[in-house]
Structure 1
Amino acid sequence: MDWDKHSGHWPHAQHSKFILCKPHRWHVQEMGEGPLLLLLHGAGGGVQSWRHLMPLLAKNYRVIAMDLPGQGFTKCGAQQRLGLIPIAQDISKLCADQEWVPAAIIGHSAGGALALQMAQDMTPAPPVIGINAALGNFKGLAGLLFPLIAKALAMTPMVARFFTASTSRSGSIKRLIEGTGSTLPDEDLIWYQALIGDAGHVDGTLGMMAQWNLDPLLRKLHQHPSETLLIVGDRDKAVPPSTSLECAGIMPAAEVVTLPELGHLAHEEDAGTVLTPILAFLQQKIR
C-alpha cells in the first residue's frame, strides 16, 4: 500500500514509523510506556485492527503493533517467507534488532497462532493472549483442498486485482465482515475497504494463506511453555469458539474467557469489553 496516499487519515498515523529489518520493511506503530506488549493482527488485517484497543492498553503499557509482511504498509522482501514459522522468525528478528523484549504477546486470529509460535521459541516464554485465535486446521477434504486452492490463487496473475475490483465496494466489505459474525460501523469499515482495495495487500494475504501450516505448532501445544489466555466471541463465524476450548484443554497453562454477543472482530466491536479480561490476566502474569 502507498503510505503517502493514506498517511493523512490512517488510524494513529502519528505513531507510525518504518523499520528496515531484512528481508522486510516493516510498518510499526508504538504508543505508551511500561512493560512491552506486542500486538499481531490476523490475516488480511493490519495495525488498524487495533485502533480502539491499542490506546486503552497504552494507558498502562508500552504497546507496539505492526503490519505483517506483505500486508498493510509492510513491504515484503521475501515472498517465500509468508508461512507461520518464517513470519514468527522474522518478527523475532525485528524484536532483537530493535531490542524489544515483549512482556506479553497479544494476537488476533492468525496473529494468535503467530504469538504462540514466537513464544514457544523464547526464553523465558512470555504470556500469550489470543483473541479468537485461529488454532484449528480445516478438517477432511477441505483440509486437503484449501491449501492447494490458496497456492493456486497466489500463483495466478491478476487474481488479486480481480478480487479487489469485485469486493472493495462498501456493500461487499460489509457483507464480508458480517460473515465473520461481527458488525462494524461504516467509519470502521472504510479501513478494510482500503486494504481489500489494494492488490498488493491481497497478494500478501494470499501468499500467507498459501504457505500457512499449523501442524508443527499444534503438535507441540501439549507442552507449550506460555501461560495463555484465549478470548472467544461466542458469535465468531470465522473460527469456531470450540477451537479455543479444545486447545486450552491440551495446553499446560491455558484458560478461556467467552464474551457474549461478539464475533470474530470482537476487539474492534467492543474494545472496552475485551480489555477487561486482558488487563486482569496481565496484572496477574506481568510482575
Structure 2
Amino acid sequence: MDAAVERADMEIYRSASGRQVIQDWCTHELERVLPTADLRTVATPLGPTHLTTVGVGPNVVLLPGTNFGAATSTPLIAALAGAFRVTTVDLPGQPGLSCGTRLQDNLVAQHRRWLAHVLGEISGSGQPPLVIGESLGAAVALCAEPGPHIGGLILVVPAGLVGARVDVRTLAATLPWLLRPTRPRAGRLLATMASGAAILDANQLTEWMTLVPEHVRSSLAPAPLPNPVLSAWRNTPCQVVVGARDRIYGPHRLADPAQKLLHCSTTVVPDAGHLLTHTAPYAVAQVASKLSRLVGGAT
C-alpha cells in the first residue's frame, strides 16, 4: 500500500477483540443463511477484501451501504440470486470481513483503483456485470471508471448524488443508539429508517446494530461527488431506486440530479424508506432484471 493510503488510513475497530466479535458474527450469519456461497478474500490496493458469491446467471456485483456487508444484505442477495450470479463485496473501512481501515483522503481515485481490481477478480465471460450500489456503496460505485467492463449501474437509496439529510426524528433515534447501544434503541433506529415498512430480517439487523456502535467507529455519509465524476456515467445504462418514504435521500431530492447528471430515471418504491433492500428487495431485483435484459440486448 502506498504512502498516501497509509497517511489516510483510520482503524475502525475499537479493539482487536471487538473486531473478532464482528467478524465472527458475519461468518456465522453467512454460513447460516448462505451455506452454499463461495466465500473468499482477495488482496486489493485497499487491503484484504471479502467476496461472497452465490447464484447462477449474469454477473451482478453488490456494494452494500454504511455499516453493512454481505452478512447484513441477505434479503437482497437472495432476491437477486434467483436470476444472477451475485458477488457481494464487503467494503474496506466498514464493519465486516474486509480490511478494517477507512480512507480519509483522495476517495475517488482510491476507490476507482480498488474497484477496478475487484471487478477484475469477479468478471468472467459473457455480458459485463451490473454493479448495484446501496447508499454508501452507490457512491463507491460512481467512483469507478466508466467503460465497457461495467454493463450498468443500479443506485439504491444512493449517496454521492446529494448530501444526506437527517431529520429530527432520525436524529432522535440515532444519538441514543450511538451513546449507549441496546436492542430496543437499535430496533427504534431501524424502524425509523424503514419508515414503518416491515423489515424482513429485523431480528438479525437488530442484533447487528446493537454490536456495531459498541465495537466500531461508524463513518458519516459521504459528500456529493464532483459533477464531472457523475456526468461521466451518462452513456452507461443506469437506474436510481429509492423508497417513497426515505428520510435521508428522498426521491424528490434525487430525481432531478439523477436525470441531469446521469441521464437516468428514478424508480420510486411505494411504502418503503431508507432500508429498501431489507423491506422490498424484490423491487430492486426486478429493476436488475430489466436492466440486465437491456444490457444483454445491446451487446
What is the TM-score when the length of structure 2 is the normalising length?
0.74
**Counterpart residue identity of residue 166, structure 1:** R
Whether 2:153 is the aligned partner of 1:128: answer: yes
Residue of structure 2 aligned with 1:69, choices 89, 92, 95: 92
Structure 1 counterpart of 2:263: 253
Q: Are 1:180 and 2:193 counterparts? A: yes
Counterpart residue number, 1:7? 27
CA-CA distance at 1:248 after TM superposition: 2.3
- Cα deviation 1:38-77 (Å, max 9, x = unaligned): 0011112121343112123222221100211132323426
Segments of structure 1 that go 5 or more residues without pairing to the other structure are 143-161
SS at match of 1:86: helix
Counterpart of 2:239, as a letter, is L
Separation (CA, whole Å) in 2 of partners of 1:260 and 1:285: 26
The answer to whether the 8 Å contact 1:70/1:201 transfers is no
Give the deviation of 1:36 after TM superposition: 0.9
Structure 1 Cα separation of the partners of residues 214 and 92 of structure 2: 11
Q: 2:43 aligns with which of 16, 21, 41?
A: 21
> Equivalent residue for 1:274?
284
| 1:234, distance to aligned residue in structure 2 (A) | 0.3
Q: Give the superposition deviation at 1:12.
A: 2.1
User: Which range is displaced more, 265-274 or 97-106?
Assistant: 97-106
Q: State whether structure 2 residue 161 is matched by structure 1 residue 166.
A: no
* Selected match of 1:94 from 115, 118, 122: 118
Superposed, which structure 2 residues align to 1:228-243 within 5 Å? 228-243=238-253
Secondary structure at 2:88 match in 1: strand
The match for 1:104 is 130
| 1:113 to 2:108 alignment | no
SS at match of 1:267: helix
Deviations 1:13-50 (Å, cap 9, x if unpaired)? 55252313144222221011222100011112121343
Sequence identity, in percent?
Answer: 20
Measured after TM superposition, the shift of residue 233 of structure 1 is: 0.7
Structure 2 residue ranges without an equivalent (≥5): 1-18, 167-175
For residue 138 of structure 1, report the CA deviation from its aligned partner. 5.3
Contact 2:186–2:209 (Cα < 8 Å) also in 1: no
**How far apart are the structure 1 equivalents of 2:262 and 2:103?**
33
Give me the CA root mean square deviation. Answer: 3.1
1:137 aligned onto 2:171: no
User: 2:216 aligned with 1:202, yes or no?
Assistant: yes
- Check conservation: 2:244, 2:269, Cα contact below 8 A: yes
Which residue of structure 2 aligns with residue 148 of structure 1? Answer: none
Which of 196, 221, 231 is the equivalent residue of 1:222?
Answer: 231
Tell me the equivalent position of 1:48. Answer: 71
Residues 267, 36 of structure 1: CA spacing in aligned structure 2 closer, same or farther, 3 A cutoff?
Answer: same
The answer to which of 267-276 and 231-240 deviates more is 267-276
Determine helix, strand or coil for the equivalent of 2:67: coil
> Whole-Å Cα distance in 1 between the matches of residues 62 and 240 of structure 2?
14
2:143 and 2:229 in contact (8 A); partners too: no
For structure 1, which segment, 263-272 or 176-185, has the greater mean C-alpha deviation from structure 2 after superposition?
176-185
Deviation of 1:285 (Å): 2.0
1-structure distance, mates of 2:86, 2:74: 12
Contact conserved, 2:66 with 2:135, CA < 8 A, in 1? Answer: yes
Kindly tell me the number of residue pairs found equivalent between the two proteins.
259
In the superposition, relative to structure 1, how do residues 213 and 21 fare at CA in structure 2: closer, same or farther (>3 Å)?
farther
1-side partners of 2:124 and 2:104: how far apart?
A: 22
Displacement after TM superposition at 1:84 (Å): 4.8
Structure 1 letter corresponding to 2:230: L
**Aligned letter for 1:128?**
L
Q: Secondary structure at the match of 1:96?
A: helix
Distance in 2 (CA, whole Å) between partners of 1:254 and 1:69 is 28
